[in-house]
Amino acid sequence: MNITAILIAVAVVGGVGLFLGLFLGVAGILFKVEVDEKEEAVLGVLPGNNCGGCGYPGCSGLAAAIAKGEAAVNACPVGGEAVGKQVAEIMGVEAGESVRMTAFVKCAGTCEKTTQNYEYSGVQDCAMVKFVPDGGAKSCSHGCLGFGNCVKACPFGAISIQDGIAVVDKEKCKACSKCVAVCPKNLIELIPYDAKAVVACSSKDKGPVAMKACKSACIGCGLCVKVCPNEAITVTDFHAHIDQSKCTGCGACKEKCPKKAII
């Protein structure tokens, strides 16, 4: 065994290791990315669901935006008021008032209230069914298709298909808006968690057509508008809409609605 060769090999390996160590150390100093301590602290209290409901690419994106002052401290819909207060404390500002929201499916067209125009046996996907004749087999072309794209999109298990339509469990819903984005019929919207009255219909057909399609369809009669003491309801395109900021939950519209479209 050549001792000299061994020593040379050890020296070369050691020298290379020393060089790489020094190189990496210098590179680490020169190319060091400064970490915003507040950003890291904010990220630490965010729930980590990365749902995108805040409008930013995941929790890290929101944390960076909050640290830069580009997003509100209570912008996380999943964390809600509790997380908003923690973030506000980190940022040294007031949290402000936070309104808990929940998703709502504007359709009550169950299998009992609607009929099937034909038997559909194709792909079980709402986005695909939208393009079949009449926008689906149901008699109401505006209603929920019931194939559960929203169910698949919800990361919190808050939506289920019941009797042919999507139903949101408001206790599980975090208002991340993923279901809103995937519904091809635009039937889902975010409303205040404590909303007292909502119109469970999206039909914009005239009364006779709407009634033929669904037993609980809004027919745009305007009776709810007349009885509302707070002017919280308007009718556009034969469809009633309730302004939640004005509604006090008196129940007058629900009692007056002839089709029980307001719940």
CATH code (residue 49): 1.10.15.40
pLDDT digits (tens, 9 = 90+) for 51-74: 888 888 889 889 899 888 888 888
What's the domain count of the chain? 3
Q: Could you tell me if residue 5 is inside a domain?
A: no
Do 234 and 254 lie in one domain? The reply is yes
* Contact in structure between 129 and 73 (CB atoms under 8 Å): no
Q: How confident is the model at residue 30 (pLDDT cuts 50, 70, 90)?
A: low
pLDDT reading at 35 higher than 70: no
Q: Could you tell me if residue 65 is inside a domain?
A: yes
Answer positive or negative: Cα dihedral of 100, 245, 176, 49. negative
pLDDT reading at 14 higher than 80: no
- Three-class HEC string of 100-142: CEEEEECCCCCCCCECECCCCCCCCCHHHHCCCHHHCCECCCC
Task: Please report the pLDDT score of residue 168 as a whole number.
Answer: 97
Q: How confident is the model at residue 186 (pLDDT cuts 50, 70, 90)?
A: very high
Pick the last residue of a domain from 91, 126, 156: 91
Residue range(s) defining the domain that contains residue 179: 100-194
Q: Mean per-residue pLDDT for 107-125?
A: 89
Q: Mean per-residue pLDDT for 158-184?
A: 94
Task: Please report the pLDDT score of residue 34 as a whole number.
Answer: 63
Q: Mean per-residue pLDDT for 120-128?
A: 88
CATH number reported for the structural domain that contains residue 165 in this entry = 3.30.70.20
Pick the last residue of a domain from 140, 161, 194: 194
Q: Could you tell me if residue 189 is inside a domain?
A: yes
Do 168 and 217 lie in one domain? The reply is no
Q: How confident is the model at residue 31 (pLDDT cuts 50, 70, 90)?
A: low
Kindly report the average pLDDT of the chain as a whole number: 89
pTM above the 0.95 mark? no
